A and B are shown apart, each in its own frame.
Chain A
Amino acid sequence: MSEAELATLAAILAAMIRAATPLVFAALGELVTERAGVLNLGLEGMMLMGAVAAFGTAHAGAGHGAAMAAGAAAGVGMSLLFAFLALGLRANQVACGLALSIFGVGLSAFVGKSLVGTPIAALPALPIPLLSEIPVLGPALFSHDILVYASILAVPAISWFLFRTRAGLVLRAVGENHDAAHDIGYGVLKVRTLAVMFGGAMAGLAGAYLSLAYTPMWVENMSSGRGWIALALVVFATWVPVRALMGAYLFGGVTILQLHAQNWGVPVSAQILAMLPYLATIVVLVLISRDETKIKLNAPACLGKVFHSGR
């Protein structure tokens, strides 16, 4: 490969990672929520609130750290609304999540009105010394901003938490069989609320990544349906964190590749090429789902089910 081709390859890889980062955040958060047995379809609303809060904070002159915190906090705030309805009042989770999305789209547009069309300083890239100088891999993997690194590091951290700690075991137990978990003495609602809040914080960070780093601006509805893709990726991941990362990179990678393919002279319409990320995700899911036992073991058995403590 020539030097120019290697540079192109590095650029494609780097673009793929960046395109996937909001999906990684949101999907990992939802994965933890669902592992605790709660289905929160409000990702889109939480992401948008995270995006507008982070952008507004940065725009007001606070540092990027504060902006990211504000994004996460806004996501948590939205998730608490969901937790109050779906866990506190036992309202239907699917409908509450969808309502949360509608609410978040509107609320973010409302509070963000004065922010439209204003710029901020983008979250800076932090090239990792030495590593970022490796050819191809350096620019592709080690020259990103802190949120990209955080999204990648979140994968082993969440895996360790879920599968190697007692708290993670409790969380999974609550998602598997809430009645048994309750009988043993775990606070089902408390665990679930915390899991929902974690999902909210991660969705908020996904939004913050969009409005601070990926496209540092605020426009209404800027998440453009990424919350839905993240939701699908949790299923794709069969509730295993590392597979959520792989799914997001697959989706982001095919998205970038189809944009390149448009100039390779393939005699296929651009609209058909644009279907590829969705079709690829379906095909790969089918391939990994063929072994039925594996899927069954991972899906939280109490997902979306209402828990009644006072049976």
Chain B
Amino acid sequence: MLRLELRPQASRTMTFVAPLLAIAATVAAGGVLFAALGFAPLPALATFFLSPLGDLYGVTEWLLKATPLAIIACALALGFRGNVWNIGAEGQLIAGAIAAGGTALALYEVSGLWVLPTVLLAGVVGGAAWAAIPALLRIRFHANEILTSLMLNYVAVLLLAWLVHGPWRSPEGYNFPETRMFTDSALMPLLVEGMRLHVGVLFAPLVAVVAWVILSRSFLGFQIKVIGMTPAAGSYAGFGPNRVIAFTLMFGGGMAGLAGAMEITGPIGQLVPTVSPGYGYTAIIAAFLGRLHPIGILLAALLLALTYMGGDAAQIALGVPLAVTQVFQGMILFFLLAADVLIRYRVRLSLPHGARR
């Protein structure tokens, strides 16, 4: 019988071996899945994982898609470490997009190097303000942030819908739900001519570093970790959890807001009813897949972005239905999460006591 034995400390070797095992398992299981559905397994896997990155455009798109995931997940991870459950990054992203979009519209046709930073800052403030609601309700009224932050996601979607269908609708848009296209000084500068990748991609490693510094080099980070381990311990150490709740929620919200601002000033270029394909939710997976560590999260965000692009590629090149690519995505996540067990545990083969009797 297999038995799991907790390692005294996480295995460094396994930290690197486990993901490789997960990838091997994914390739094997994916091969079986595709073969069972009548697709040649190896070309299907190659289409899924390799073809999206076959040219410069693919690589730039990959980084573009991973950027919001990485930024949000790095910020959310601080909260998750401190037992603050912000499920509302999607709403905070939208709130950030609303604030940034409103600013960009107010500065329509205004030029100047300060316009874009102002727009992005508005996004950060908008996202942080949206996250301040659950923070306030938790601190002041003890209202659980899982519920409040999740419910505010739906409210943010409706608020954005109301704005683009109503007051902020483009005067030239035949009453369709969209704002005007933002003017050049409110758009993210592109990194590669002809591609959509913009300078915002640099924020991903930056936020990762900031999150790492906060967590491992600041007193606040120490507080987050202490409260994360035992919520009651904070009060013995002489600080309450309120500071941690307020900071982690608003930092997560602010970064989600930044991601939202960069989506609309980057690849989208205007406010539309759908500014996010669920980045706020996917980022939660990215955070845990990356084991709440900035480096891990960057890798997880890249992997998740690749699975979405691979799903599109498999539909286009092979006609694999979306449902199958979603099943495959789920499987990849299962394997990666399951492989983690090897890092923290030794798998022992042992006979249970009394097995012979």
Chain A residues near B (Cβ < 8 Å): 81, 85, 89-92, 94-96, 98-100, 102-107, 109-110, 113, 220, 228, 231-232, 235-236, 269, 271-272, 274-275, 278-279, 281-282, 285-286, 289-290, 292, 295, 299, 308, 310-311
Convert B319-334 into 0s and 1s, putting 1 for each residue whose CB lies closer than 8 angstroms to a CB of A: 0011111111111011
Report yes or no: A106 in contact with B327, Cβ–Cβ below 8 A: yes
**Whole-angstrom CA separation of A223 from B289 in the bound complex:** 26
CB-contacts of B137-175 with A (<8 A): 137, 141-144, 146-148, 150-152, 154-155, 158-159, 161-162, 165-166
Residue of A nearest to B231 (CB): A301
- Partner among A95, A100, A272, A311 whose Cβ is within 8 Å of the Cβ of B162: A272
Report yes or no: B285 in contact with A109, Cβ–Cβ below 8 A: no
Interface: B263 (CB within 8 A): no
Among B101-109, B120-128, B244-252, B336-344, the one that faces the other chain is B336-344
- Partner among B4, B141, B155, B337 whose Cβ is within 8 Å of the Cβ of A99: B337
CB-contacts of B71-126 with A (<8 A): 80
**Whole-angstrom CA separation of A282 from B327 in the bound complex:** 34
Report yes or no: A289 in contact with B155, Cβ–Cβ below 8 A: no
Chain A residue contacts of B327, Cβ below 8 A: 103, 106-107, 110
Number of B residues with CB within 8 Å of any CB on chain A: 48
The 7 closest A-B pairs by CB, nearest first: A106-B326, A103-B330, A95-B288, A99-B333, A109-B323, A110-B323, A271-B162
Chain B residue contacts of A279, Cβ below 8 A: 151, 155
- Partner among A85, A92, A235, A278 whose Cβ is within 8 Å of the Cβ of B146: A235
Report yes or no: B143 in contact with A94, Cβ–Cβ below 8 A: no
Interface: B199 (CB within 8 A): no
A89-B340, A286-B143 given; 7 more Cβ-contact pairs under 8 Å:
A85-B334, A89-B4, A91-B341, A271-B162, A275-B155, A289-B141, A310-B4
Report yes or no: B326 in contact with A102, Cβ–Cβ below 8 A: yes
Report yes or no: B148 in contact with A95, Cβ–Cβ below 8 A: no
**Whole-angstrom CA separation of A57 from B281 in the bound complex:** 32
Chain B residues near A (Cβ < 8 Å): 3-6, 80, 137, 141-144, 146-148, 150-152, 154-155, 158-159, 161-162, 165-166, 281, 284-285, 288-289, 321-331, 333-334, 337-338, 340-341, 344-345
Report yes or no: A274 in contact with B158, Cβ–Cβ below 8 A: yes
Chain A residue contacts of B337, Cβ below 8 A: 85, 89, 91-92, 95-96, 99
Report yes or no: B148 in contact with A109, Cβ–Cβ below 8 A: no
Interface-centre pick from B159, B324, B326, B344 (highest chain A CB count, 10 A): B326
Q: Can you name 6 A-B residue pairings with CB atoms under 8 Å?
A: A98-B281, A102-B326, A106-B327, A106-B328, A282-B147, A310-B5
Chain B residue contacts of A94, Cβ below 8 A: 80, 284, 288
Q: How far is the CB of A68 from chain B (nearest CB, A)?
A: 24
**Whole-angstrom CA separation of A299 from B166 in the bound complex:** 42
**Whole-angstrom CA separation of A106 from B137 in the bound complex:** 36
- Partner among B146, B151, B289, B345 whose Cβ is within 8 Å of the Cβ of A281: B151
Report yes or no: B147 in contact with A235, Cβ–Cβ below 8 A: yes
**Whole-angstrom CA separation of A286 from B6 in the bound complex:** 40
Chain A residue contacts of B338, Cβ below 8 A: 85, 89, 91
Report yes or no: A95 in contact with B150, Cβ–Cβ below 8 A: no
**Whole-angstrom CA separation of A272 from B325 in the bound complex:** 36
**Whole-angstrom CA separation of A92 from B3 in the bound complex:** 18
**Whole-angstrom CA separation of A100 from B327 in the bound complex:** 9
Q: How far is the CB of B255 from chain A (nearest CB, A)?
A: 19
Report yes or no: B6 in contact with A282, Cβ–Cβ below 8 A: no
Tell me whether A102 and B333 are in contact in the complex, defined as CB-CB below 8 angstroms, given that A110-B323, A282-B137, A292-B142 are known contacts.
Answer: yes
Report yes or no: A285 in contact with B144, Cβ–Cβ below 8 A: yes
Report yes or no: B165 in contact with A271, Cβ–Cβ below 8 A: yes
- Partner among A110, A269, A295 whose Cβ is within 8 Å of the Cβ of B324: A110
Report yes or no: A275 in contact with B5, Cβ–Cβ below 8 A: no
**Whole-angstrom CA separation of A92 from B330 in the bound complex:** 14
Chain A residue contacts of B165, Cβ below 8 A: 271
Chain A residue contacts of B322, Cβ below 8 A: 106, 109
Chain B residue contacts of A85, Cβ below 8 A: 334, 337-338
Report yes or no: A99 in contact with B158, Cβ–Cβ below 8 A: no
Chain B residue contacts of A281, Cβ below 8 A: 147, 151
Report yes or no: B146 in contact with A232, Cβ–Cβ below 8 A: yes
Chain B residue contacts of A220, Cβ below 8 A: 323
Residue of B nearest to A281 (CB): B151
Interface-centre pick from A81, A91, A281, A290 (highest chain B CB count, 10 A): A91
Tell me whether A109 and B334 are in contact in the complex, defined as CB-CB below 8 angstroms, given that A231-B150, A232-B150, A290-B141 are known contacts.
Answer: no
Q: How far is the CB of B212 from chain A (nearest CB, A)?
A: 20
